[in-house]
Amino acid sequence: MSSHGYLQLFCPNTMKTAFVYDPVFLQHDPGPGHPECRERLIRIMEYISRKPWFNTLYQINPAPADRIWIEMIHDSHYVNRAMETCKSGAPYLDSMDVGVSKSSCETAIVAAGAPLVMADEILQGSNGVSNGFALVRPPGHHAEKDMALGFCLFNNIAILARYLQSHYALDKILILDWDVHHGNGTQHSFEEDPSVYYISIHQYPFYPGTGAHWETGTGRGNGATLNCPMPANSGEYEYETVFKEKIIPAIHRFKPEFILISAGFDAHKDDPLAQMNLGTGFYGWMTLRMLELADQYCNGRIISLLEGGYNLHALPLCIEEHLKQLTGISESV
């Protein structure tokens, strides 16, 4: 345990947190034995739905993303190919990592649309929602403009960032990616764009091979990408140091209008796909740091999206820590 401690209190909710989930996300089937399985969401919902704070979440029904928003990130030919490949019954799309079934593309379109509905509620709703968590699959941050990769079909968080800019005329969007794998697709979507600041903390060298510290953006976007590669076996002390010395100061300089989180939980010490050593409670610590910044710069506006996390026991516990901080139920000292 690093220098921080945790004090969990059931206290009056000071903010309203939106939550998106639907059984439609179980329909994506990447094949037997695949780590990105439907059981991930089943276990999460079985666990968190029994918690006393679960009913404080503002439930939002997802909707499919309009194609216009998907094509702000993805090439139209790729979208067509993804739809045709899934409907054909092919076992995978582009890479053997991206197992698919006949329902996978339709499910991915709803996964891309769910956070857009959440953004609508935060920015134009009358229910006092300031932040939210989208429990969706398939994940998105590896998906490139014209290629599926790393369990991902469409880049959900990149689509959301462009939606916020195009539909609501927001300019400065921050994306923090704490998944243990670097979000190559997200970085490539915005590496020439100074209005979207992409920050990633991830195991390195590791899949997908991108995310070196010298990758800082290109052209006009030079300086709007911050990669924080971490060696295997890094733990809470190392992560906290990077947050305090690099990530938090960078966000202060950028002053975002909206914060998005690619919330992968696979840097947990028990995750089978990586070699990092974060404890469950540290996800609450990272969430609280983002809430503090969101309160300072963007009226508390945060949307986080599920990415990775493959230990079926640890994953629901990590998400509980994340949600308790978003709702204001848990305070850290």
Taking a C-beta distance cutoff of 8 angstroms, is the pair 165, 123 a contact?
A: no
Cα–Cα distance for residue pair 206/229, rounded to 1 Å: 9
Cα–Cα distance for residue pair 66/86, rounded to 1 Å: 18
Bridge partners of 277, per DSSP, are: 235
Place of tokens 């998907």: 70
Taking a C-beta distance cutoff of 8 angstroms, is the pair 311, 272 a contact?
A: yes
Q: Which helix (H) or strand (E) holds 119?
A: helix 104-124
Closest CA to 240 of 304, 285, 185: 285
Taking a C-beta distance cutoff of 8 angstroms, is the pair 259, 122 a contact?
A: no
Catalytic residues: 142
CA 184 vs CA 44, 56, 195, 197, 225: distances in Å: 26, 35, 18, 14, 11
Would the CA dihedral through 213, 142, 198, 279 be positive or negative?
A: negative
Cα–Cα distance for residue pair 72/54, rounded to 1 Å: 34
* Beta strands 196-203; 173-177: pairing state: parallel
Q: Is 31 left (phi over 0), alpha (psi -120 to 50) or beta?
A: left
Closest CA to 78 of 147, 172, 2, 3: 147
Count of helices and strands (H, E) across the chain: 10, 10
Cα–Cα distance for residue pair 68/55, rounded to 1 Å: 34
